[in-house]
Chain A
């Protein structure tokens, strides 16, 4: 099928047995809700689709829906995702599964409606309060948009936490050929009960203690214990769930680190540089948290210099520098959004790094 990235998200959600989508229109992600409205999954799989009154309501619908053990999601773009941060913090605190698809546009404020990666920090470090993390998947094609939905559903229930698909206006809007996943039925109430004994849905209450979710804990010592347990979970995720892709790194003397749209641009630059005989490759994080820190550290030893290419003013570059820990210089190239880096600009930047060594 030939689909937009946003449309692929909608199709894939239905096919992966999603129970509910709660969303609010915002450019450039509105096709997710629009596609679901056209497909009418409530008549086929029974999936709930609701246009909420705000992103604030959407994320709290996901919070509560996830708390009942259902497989639920929302999607939005930068200013809308900013409004959701409080709810994401609550989901992390209460260990509630839920998917947030973020189709980034330029910022700050209303910004532009064109593609950007300037919400890297918002996604990876979070804008909500407290010591929490969100698993962040970074697809770079329409096919990966479709595939990431099932992966996000798996991860959010495995680790009981919010998972974000961090896309951007380019991947959301562009059309590519895509093979959609096979249909998987929604879980029955009995399956929900068995898989989520912690869930708030009343099922089996007469033969168990009541369940509740609350992020409030007035006893600081108990709160710290709870936070430490969550940190242990995060360390396990960092050990088990890092995903990345390598491109021409075997003999590389220089490497680009880029994800999502900017990785596609960077591949074009690498092909041009290779033709000129420059030994350059790319590491593409497919998870931005957990971050492929260890592999980037190895590249810091292998290469003369690393370059991050981002559609922002330099956000991921700090994480790459942290991973490299001074073993080699880490440079940055980018545009802030709407204005996109071209492969030629990336080639120029890499050549200037090499010439100035």
Chain B
């Protein structure tokens, strides 16, 4: 019998700590698959964040550095400059990348660091139990905006990916999702493109993955997927924002 699908070798055979329905496990699998297909594990360094993906090093079987909250792009900048032939990527959530680490994110991208940034946007702080994130939608309820996000109290969601596309240092900026099979396949292609750009030193690549947080959103996984499609995707539309340094 022909094997048509199997667990990637680089995805460890351990129970993940992620909640049912969480997008992280899918994106981890895609990262493992892409690294394996590219055959670059002996020159790959991942930088994991503070947030739900803090334990990424337990699941994807390569060398990882765990960064302080928000500092992954600074870490990745140093690693790539010191190891110019390596594939260097960060894996970050919205609080890490677009709030406490906004400075590092924008500066590393604008320097044109030859790194790939994978950005999981679930519009909430998952790890700490569902607080308001920089990408929380207007009106969305969280534990720190229990009556819904309001402009006068909380300001507006940050369009960090759109900002990334305006920076001269980025070569590839895209927004994807993992809520259905077709989107999972597109996200995998995007990660592969970003990783290849790092190896080819084409500049900074930025892959946003719009995702769910059923625990933080207080929904079933199915409801969360639907809520994401109905509310997140109109605000964070999927597709490429910049390819080969050209804005779309």
- Asked if B41 CB lies within 8 Å of chain A CBs, one says yes
* Bound Cα distance A52, B74 (Å): 8
* Contact assessment for B71 and A211 in the assembled complex, using a CB-CB cutoff below 8 Å: no
Chain B, residue nearest A61 (CB): B78
A202 within 8 A of partner (CB) = yes
Partner among B43, B54, B78 whose Cβ is within 8 Å of the Cβ of A202:
B43
Within 8 A of B (CB), among A212-253: 212-216
In the complex, how many angstroms separate the beta carbon of A195 from the nearest chain B beta carbon? 15
| A198, B63: Cα distance in complex, Å | 10
Residues of B contacting A202 with CB < 8 Å? 41-45, 62-63, 86
Interface size, A (range): 35 or more
Which B-chain residue is minimally distant from A87 (CB atoms)? B68
Given known pairs A57-B104, A61-B77, A205-B42, the reply for A48 and B66 (CB within 8 Å) is no
Is there a chain A Cβ closer than 8 Å to B196's Cβ? no
Contact A48 B82 (CB under 8 A): yes
Contact B81 A200 (CB under 8 A): no
B76 at the interface (CB under 8 A from A): yes
Complex alpha-carbon distance, A72 and B78, angstroms: 10
Q: Mark A51-65, 1 if CB is under 8 A from B, else 0.
A: 011101110111111
Name A's interface SS.
mixed
Residues of chain B with a CB closer than 8 A to A67's CB? 65, 79
Q: Contact: A203 with B45, CB < 8 Å?
A: no
Q: Whole-angstrom distance between the alpha carbons of A67 and B47 in the complex?
A: 11
A204 close to B (CB within 8 Å): yes
CB distance from B106 to the nearest CB of A (A): 8
- Whether B61 sits at the interface, judged by CB under 8 Å, is yes
Considering the chains assembled together, what is the distance between the CA atoms of A316 and B79 in angstroms?
37
Judging by beta carbons under 8 Å apart, are B42 and A204 in contact? yes
Contact status B41-A205, CB under 8 Å: yes
Contacts of A58 in B (CB 8 A): 74
Known contacts A63-B75, A206-B42; A213/B65 CB under 8 A: yes
Q: How many residues in B have their beta carbons less than 8 Å from beta carbons of A?
A: 30
B82 pairs with A72, CB closer than 8 A? yes
Contact A60:B68 (CB < 8 A) given known A53-B107, A68-B45, A212-B57: yes
Contacts of B146 in A (CB 8 A): none
Given A19-B82, A210-B57, A64 contacting B64 (CB threshold 8 A) = no
By a CB distance below 8 angstroms, the chain A residues around B41 are 202, 205-206
Q: Report yes or no: A214 in contact with B104, Cβ–Cβ below 8 A.
A: no
B27-78 interface with A by 8 A CB criterion: 41-45, 47, 54, 57, 61-68, 71, 74-78
Task: Identify which of A20, A52, A67 gathers the most chain B CB atoms within 10 Å of its CB.
Answer: A67
Q: Confirm or deny: A50 has a beta carbon within 8 angstroms of a beta carbon on chain B.
A: yes
Contact A86 B82 (CB under 8 A): no
Contacts of A212 in B (CB 8 A): 57, 63-66
Within 8 A of B (CB), among A3-32: 19-20, 22
Alpha-carbon distance A68/B41, docked complex (angstroms):
15
Which residues 111-126 of B sit at the A interface, judged by CB distance below 8 A? Answer: none
B114 → A minimal CB distance (Å): 13
Given contacts A20-B82, A48-B82, A205-B62, 9 further A-B contacts (CB under 8 A): A53-B107, A64-B47, A65-B78, A87-B68, A200-B63, A202-B44, A205-B41, A210-B63, A212-B57
23 contacts between A and B (CB under 8 A): A20-B81, A57-B71, A57-B77, A57-B107, A58-B74, A60-B67, A60-B78, A61-B74, A61-B77, A63-B68, A64-B65, A64-B75, A68-B83, A200-B45, A201-B45, A201-B63, A202-B62, A203-B43, A210-B61, A210-B63, A211-B63, A212-B63, A213-B65
- Residues of B bordering A, CB below 8 Å: 41-45, 47, 54, 57, 61-68, 71, 74-79, 81-83, 86, 103-104, 107
